């Protein structure tokens, strides 16, 4: 995932994910600053530890509104708006189900159907109350839990881009484990690999080339477990409480902001190819690449990126439904 001849790569593990920063300068101090920034946001947003601003909200569910910092409030506002879109599969209050399934964590298992039925009523985004003036978030029912796993990395990738810009950096790439944000236009653009679902770690379906754009992929092949011959992945259907089941192996969104990319991958994943393409016709600036279980690669449109197929077991179906 590089471009040009003098690219320096810096890596870390944060948010349970491999993080990769690419710069055109050998600047370890700047890389350390970037990792520190990511860590600061992780500390505010994580639900994988007892304490964070988001966990303060969760601990006070059913009891009291909680004051949070401006960036956390803004991110929750965006996540709530995406959750309240008609027929949305994005749900910021999916936390109780995520915690019960534990997909991608130790102790994952298929919950008994009765337990899922009990947890579903605790995942209603309508029961989140935001107070703009006070800057508070209130989960009105006990045992509700916000989970920003489907949106936080996009938000953080944008903050890294903004920080690098402020530091005078003209060309950089940050990969937060599936969320890529790029700055600038190196010769030939930035090339981002589109992973082959369930392939070897470095196997690619193709390569996406962009400049100054974000490339976010959500796939069923990153975090999953198998039980009784069935695969269970980490994108849950808020209507059923089970992993979303449709024709898709992955959805990639190309957009200016990674926040949009992260929201739309989950929204569009839930809709599938046909509905997703229909909706994106009214969203200039948000473009999708679908990879189906039938090994098709389908674009909603392709004005902000170019794509090169690398694995010829896959078939390019350019703009067929757009």
Does residue 158 bind ligand FAD (CB under 6 A)? no
90 binds, among ligand FAD, Mg ion, none (CB under 5 to 8 A by kind): ligand FAD
Contact assessment for residue 235 and residue 243, using Cβ atoms and an 8 Å cutoff = yes
In sequence order, what are the residues at sequence separation of 6 or more whose Cβ sits closer than 8 angstroms to the Cβ of residue 69?
44, 53, 135
SS3 at position 135: coil
Count the site residues for ligand FAD by CB under 6 A: 31
Can you tell me which residue has the tokens 């401006």? 70
Contact between 42 and Mg ion by CB under 5 A: the answer reads: no
For residues 272 and 210, give the distance between their C-alpha atoms in angstroms, rounded to a whole number.
24
Q: Does 75 bind ligand FAD (CB under 6 A)?
A: no
Q: Minimal distance in Å, beta carbon 244 to ligand FAD? A: 7
Of 76, 98, 119, 248, the residue at the interface with ligand FAD (CB under 6 A) is 98
Q: Where are the beta strands (DSSP E) in the chain?
A: 8-14, 17-23, 66-67, 128-131, 136-139, 172-175, 179-183, 190-195, 204-210, 214-219, 224-227, 230-233, 248-255, 287-292, 296-299, 306-309, 315-317
Of 123, 132, 184, 178, nearest to 156 (Cα)? Answer: 178
Query: 238 is in the binding site of which of ligand FAD, Mg ion, none (Cβ under 5 to 8 A by kind)?
Result: ligand FAD
Interface with ligand FAD, residue 236, by CB under 6 A: yes
The reply to whether 262 sits near ligand FAD by the rule CB under 6 A is yes
Q: Residue 122: name its binding partner from Mg ion, ligand FAD, none (Cβ under 5 to 8 Å by kind).
A: none
Stated as kind and residue range, the H or E segment containing 275 is helix 258-280
Interface region with ligand FAD, contact rule CB under 6 A, candidates 84-92, 112-120, 127-135, 273-281: 84-92
Our finding on whether 91 is near Mg ion (CB under 5 A) is no
Considering the rule CB under 6 A, would residue 42 count as an interface residue with ligand FAD? yes
314 near ligand FAD, judged by CB under 6 A: no
Contact call for residue 91 and ligand FAD (CB under 6 A): yes
Q: What is the 3-state secondary structure (H, E, C) of 279-300?
A: HHCCCCCCEEEEEECCCEEEEC
- Residue 194 near residue 291, CB atoms below 8 Å: yes
Judged by CB under 5 A, the chain residues 256 through 275 that form the site for Mg ion are 262, 265-266
- Interacting residues toward ligand FAD by CB under 6 A: 15-17, 42, 45-46, 48, 89-91, 94, 98, 104-105, 147, 149-150, 152-153, 178-179, 218, 222-223, 234-236, 238, 262, 265-266
């Amino acid at each position: 995932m590089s471009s040009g001849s003098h690219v320096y790569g810096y890596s870390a593990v944060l948010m349970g994910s491999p993080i990769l920063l690419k710069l055109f300068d050998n600047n370890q101090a700047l890389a350390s600053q970037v990792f520190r920034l990511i860590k600061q946001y992780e500390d505010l947003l994580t639900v994988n530890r007892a304490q964070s601003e988001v966990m303060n909200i969760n601990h006070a569910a059913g009891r009291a509104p909680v004051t949070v910092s401006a960036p956390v409030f803004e991110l929750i506002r965006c996540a709530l708006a995406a959750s309240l879109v008609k027929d949305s599969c994005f749900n910021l209050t999916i936390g109780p189900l995520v915690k019960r399934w534990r997909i991608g964590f130790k102790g994952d298992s298929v919950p008994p159907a009765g337990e899922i039925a009990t947890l579903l009523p605790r995942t209603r985004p309508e029961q989140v109350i935001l107070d703009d003036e006070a800057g508070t978030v209130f989960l009105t029912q006990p045992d509700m839990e916000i989970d920003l796993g489907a949106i936080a990395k996009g938000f953080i990738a944008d903050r890294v881009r903004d920080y690098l810009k402020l530091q005078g950096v003209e060309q950089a790439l940050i990969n937060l484990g599936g969320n890529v944000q790029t700055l600038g236009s190196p010769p030939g653009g930035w090339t981002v690999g589109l992973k082959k679902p369930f392939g070897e770690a470095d196997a690619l379906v193709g390569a996406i080339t962009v400049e100054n754009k974000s490339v976010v992929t959500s796939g069923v092949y990153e975090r999953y477990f198998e039980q009784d011959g069935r695969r269970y992945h980490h994108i849950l259907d808020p209507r059923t409480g089970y992993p979303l089941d449709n024709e898709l192996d992955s959805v990639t969104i190309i957009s200016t902001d990674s926040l949009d990319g992260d929201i739309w991958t989950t929204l569009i994943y839930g809709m599938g190819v046909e509905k997703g393409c229909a909706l994106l016709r009214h969203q200039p600036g948000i473009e999708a690449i679908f990879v189906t279980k039938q090994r098709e690669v389908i674009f909603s449109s392709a004005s902000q990126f170019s794509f090169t197929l690398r694995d010829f077991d896959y078939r390019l179906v350019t703009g067929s439904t757009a």
